[in-house]
Amino acid sequence: MTARLTFRDITLGYDRHPAVHHLSGEVTQGTLLAVVGPNGAGKSTLFRGIVGILKPLAGQIGYGGITQRDIAYLPQSVDIDRSFPISVFDFVGTGLWRSTGMFGGLGRKARDQIAQALAAVGLNGFENRSIGTLSGGQMQRMLFARVLLQDADVIVLYEPFNAIDAKTTLDLIALVQRWHGEGRTVLAALHDMEMVRAHFPETLLLARGAVAWGPTPDVLTLDNLAEARRMCEAFDDTAGACAADHERSQAA
């Protein structure tokens, strides 16, 4: 199958301090991949590298005929400035920037698309609400609506189900499954191992480097999870946080 993302011995980090070391592998077209690992494993760093926020310190990322602009990215909700004076409708509409331009006007077709995206995630009636008034679950639904509008071939989701209620989680998982059914390539950074086992056929277990990568049942073994914890402690001064995160994952 066509490789949509290819990691060629990439190292990513901040201020010349590596956070992801010598990662190699490929994500094929249509893959539904979970990226898991302890706190400090490099998940957010990897995703920032994929979407172009970070440039590799070494190695290369290949994009299989697309560009970084063709990737839809759902960041951590904490990365969104909720005090910014923008409505839900206008925020979701930024998902159309690739087709309308940053300062392009929204015609009738674009407004219909935004309304449809809001309806698809259950946010009818929220159009004129300020984003600062949204609950955690409503914020995640809004971010998913923006991703919907981007209509991207590759979708990168960072902790998309974190701190939201069960109903919202089920609705958004169904949307991810829909994208997978459409043949899109979806990567999601997750911490709930049972969710990964239930819904994600492939997994990358990361602990600064790749511990294991392949079919989820083969990756999420006790030995591999213990190795990820060991690697995290070896690389990270905050070993206690790594251990606690691992224990929470096992209990999930």
Burial of 18 (0-12, 13-18, 19+ CB in 10 A): middle
The 10s digit of each residue's pLDDT in 18-76 is 899 999 999 999 999 999 999 889 999 999 999 999 999 999 999 998 888 889 999 98
Q: What was the pLDDT predicted at 245?
A: 41
The whole-number pLDDT of residue 100 equals 62
What average pLDDT does this structure show over 136-140?
Answer: 90
Q: How far apart are CA 123 and CA 89, in angstroms?
A: 10
- Other CB atoms within a 10 A radius of the CB of residue 104 amount to 11
Report, as an integer, the average pLDDT of 143-157: 95
pLDDT at 32: 98
Q: For each of the domains in the chain, give its residue range(s) and CATH number, in order of start.
A: 3-251 (3.40.50.300)
pLDDT, mean over the chain:
88
Beta bridge partners of 188: 34, 157
Number of other CB atoms surrounding residue 73 within 10 Å: 21
* Predicted pLDDT at 40: 87
Reported pTM = 0.86
